Amino acid sequence: MAQWNNLDTLQAYQAMKKENYSVNLTEAMAGEAGARRVAEYQVPMAAGLAYNYAAKQVDGKVLEQLCALAKECCLAEKFEELYNGAVINTGEKRLVLHQLTRGQLGNDVVCDGVNKRAFYLEQQKKIADFARKVHSGEIVNEKGEKFRTVVQIGIGGSDLGPRAMYLALENWAKKNNFFKMEAKFISNVDPDDAAGVLNGTDPEKAIFVLVSKSGTTLETLTNEAFVKDALKNKGLDASKHMIAVTSETSPLASSSDYLAAFFMDDYIGGRYSSTSAVGGAVLSLAFGPEIFERFLQGAAAEDKLSAETDPMKNPAMLDALIGVYERNILGYPATAVLPYSQALSRFPAHLQQVDMESNGKSVNRFGEPVGYPTGPVIFGEPGTNGQHSFYQLLHQGTDTVPLQFVGFRKSQIETDVDIQGSTSQQKLCANVAAQIMAFACGKEDENRNKFFAGNRPSSIIVGDQLTPEALGALLSHFENKVMFQGFLWNLNSFDQEGVQLGKVLAKRVLAHDTDGALKAYSDLLNI
C-alpha cells in the first residue's frame, strides 16, 4: 500500500524548496524559442482537448523534479487504491467512487454487499427511462400536457455542478436539436431566488427535482416548501410535479410526495456528483439521456488518462504538480480560472467548490496540523468579461496569480459576423493568445504606469469545440487535478467539516438559543 506522508517530509520537495528555482518566462517565451515551447509543452487530453503548459515557469529540470515528487508521493498508486475501493475519505471512513459513475477503471467495487458500478448504472437506466417517458408524453401533468421545464432544487454540489454543466451545453443542444426542456435552478434560501425562478416559470408544465442526499438539508427543504406552497396556490398537486434525488435511507426515498426517486450514496461527495443521479436527472431531462451518456464518456476517457503512471502523459497529474510547485515553491496564493467560452460562465464557480471545499484544509488526513500552504483561492470569470474587470490586478498587481485559460477554436452556435476583417470567434481567440503572451512577456516602458513586468504564468486547455464529450473531459481533468493535489498535501480532499459550524450556529439562532455577540447579530438582523 502507498505511504501517506506530509509534503514537507518528501526528499524531492525538500530539494526543490532548497533550490527555489523557476524559469524566467519573459525570456523563455520570446522569439522562436517560445514558439518551440508552445509546440512541445503540451499533453493530449480526451475528447480532442490538450493541456498546454508552455507559459508556466517550468523547464526540463523542474519537470524532472516534479516527476520525482510524483513517484515519491506515490500519486499513481494512491489513485489506483482509490478506484479499487480503498477507504480514502478518512474523516468519514468512506470510499470515494465518483469516477465509478462514468466507468470501471479497476476491480469491481463491492460495498455494503452491493456492486457499486452496477448500482450507478441501474440508477442511470432508471433516469433515462423516466426522461424518455417525460419527453414522449407518457408521463404528463394533471391535464395530460407535456412538461416543458425542469427545475432543480438543491444547494452546494447539488446546484453548482449541474447548473454549470447545463449552461455549458444549453446552446450546443439547441443548435444540434438535442434540446428537450429548459432547466432552471433554485439554490439560495433567500426567498427572492425561488420567487424569481417561479415568476418566470409556468408551474403547470414544470417538473421539480429535489436533490438532498440526507433528505434533511435545511435550505433545500425550505425551498421545497416554498415551491409546494406555490403549486398549492395554483391548485396543483405537488406530488404530480416533483421527483427526488436522494439516498436509499433518506426519508424522501419512499415518500408518496414524489413521482419517482433516484438514488445516490455516501461515497460520492456533493461537489463530485455531476456525473451521478444529481446531474443525471436534470441533464437527461433537459437534453436527453443520450447526451448525458456522451458527457459521461468524455469524463471516463479523461479518467483513464489520469490513471497513467507517467506524469508527462497524465494531464491532470501534471497540472496538479505544477500547481503545487506554484503554491509551495513559488509562493503564489491564488489561481484564476478563465474560460474563453460564455457557455462555461458558471464553471469557475463550480471549481471554487471542487477545489476550495476539497483542499481548503490546515490538517492532514490524520488530523495533524500541516506546516505548509495548501489549497489556493480559486476565482474566475469568462473572457473577455474578466479582462475588463480584474485583469488589471493580474497584470500589474503586487501578487502573481497563476492563470488557467480554457479556449475553443469554434463557437457552439457557429453563427458569426465578420467585422473589421475578423469574426467574433476570431476576436475571442485572439484575446486568449494575446493575454497569455502579455502575462508571460510583459512590456518595457519608461512610464511605470504602462510598464508590465511579465513573468506571470498561465496554462491553457484548448479544444475544437465545447461538446458533451469535451465537457466531461474538462470536468474530470479538474476533479482529478484537485485529487492529486490533495494526495501531495496529504489531505483528506473528500470531507467538508468547514461548512458545518455555521449550520450549527444558524440552527441556534433560529431556535433563539443565543447570547453575547451571536444574540446581538441576531437582533441586528431582526431574527
For 457, phi then psi, to 5°, come to -80, 150
504: CB partners within 8 A, 6+ apart: none
Is 27 labeled as catalytic in the residue annotation?
no
Judged by DSSP in three states, 352 sits in helix
| Counts for the chain of helices (H) and strands (E), in that order | 18, 15
For 94, phi then psi, to 5°, come to -130, 155
Identify residue 264 by its one-letter amino acid code: M
* 210 beta partners: 153, 244
User: What is the C-alpha to C-alpha distance for residues 434 and 518, in angstroms, rounded to an integer?
Assistant: 50
DSSP 8-class letter at 452: B
User: What is the C-alpha to C-alpha distance for residues 261 and 126, in angstroms, rounded to an integer?
Assistant: 9
Catalytic residue among 234, 427, 450, 503: 503
Quick check: 8 and 372 in contact, CB under 8 A? yes
Judged by DSSP in three states, 206 sits in strand
Catalytic residue among 388, 427, 443, 450: 388
- Tell me which H or E stretch contains 453: none
Largest separation between any pair of C-alpha atoms in the chain: 73
User: What is the C-alpha to C-alpha distance for residues 265 and 218, in angstroms, rounded to an integer?
Assistant: 19
Q: Residue 503's Cα: distance from chain center in Å? A: 23
User: What is the C-alpha to C-alpha distance for residues 155 and 103, in angstroms, rounded to an integer?
Assistant: 26
Counting every residue, how long is the chain?
A: 527
Is 350 labeled as catalytic in the residue annotation?
no
Cell of 264: 445516490
Quick check: 316 and 477 in contact, CB under 8 A? yes
- Tell me which H or E stretch contains 51: strand 50-52
Quick check: 204 and 141 in contact, CB under 8 A? yes
Catalytic residue among 302, 357, 469, 479: 357
User: What is the C-alpha to C-alpha distance for residues 421 and 427, in angstroms, rounded to an integer?
Assistant: 10
Is 388 labeled as catalytic in the residue annotation?
yes
Q: Residue 181's Cα: distance from chain center in Å? A: 23
For 339, phi then psi, to 5°, come to -80, 125
The catalytic residues are: 357, 388, 503
